[in-house]
């Protein structure tokens, strides 16, 4: 049987779940400095053009998941470069990383995608 490991749920720099940061942007409230820095960090991660392409490719992929090999060729980048971008998004909690046997599969964390959308509204 193949071993399966999944990255743990992301928690922000101060240990708060992603949803807390998104709720900080509600009408009639202002951000604390910590919340602003946390949200800026999240937006910084997804503002890179390559990472935006990776997100769109994952959304369009069958079952909304792909491995690094599937993502490398269409971007015309090296595998280490694509892996670097994927790692940054996993660390930010935007992507989930799951090992299946010898392959690693990536998928978008729906709550983080929703948090990003909430920030931009």
Structural domain boundaries of the chain? Answer: 12-120
Fold of 12-120: Arc Repressor Mutant, subunit A (1.10.10)
Residue pLDDT, tens place only, 97-116:
999 999 999 999 988 887 77
Chain centroid to Cα 28, Å, comes to 28
Residue pLDDT, tens place only, 32-68:
898 888 888 888 999 999 999 999 999 999 999 999 9
Number of H helices, E strands in the chain: 6, 4
Count of C-beta atoms within a 10 Å radius of residue 12: 19
Angular region, 71: left φ>0, alpha ψ -120 to 50, beta rest: alpha
For residue 1, pLDDT over 70 is answered with no
């Amino acid at each position: 049987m193949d071993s399966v490991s999944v990255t743990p749920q992301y928690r922000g720099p101060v240990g708060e779940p992603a949803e807390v940061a998104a709720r900080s942007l509600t009408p009639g409230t202002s951000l604390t400095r910590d919340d602003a820095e946390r949200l800026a960090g999240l937006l910084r991660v997804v503002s890179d053009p390559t990472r935006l392409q990776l997100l769109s490719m994952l959304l369009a992929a069958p079952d909304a998941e792909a491995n690094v090999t599937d993502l490398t060729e269409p971007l015309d980048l090296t595998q280490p470069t694509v892996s670097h971008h994927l790692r940054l998004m996993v660390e930010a909690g935007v992507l989930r990383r799951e090992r299946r046997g010898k392959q690693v599969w990536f998928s978008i964390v729906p709550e983080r995608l929703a948090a990003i959308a909430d920030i931009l509204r």
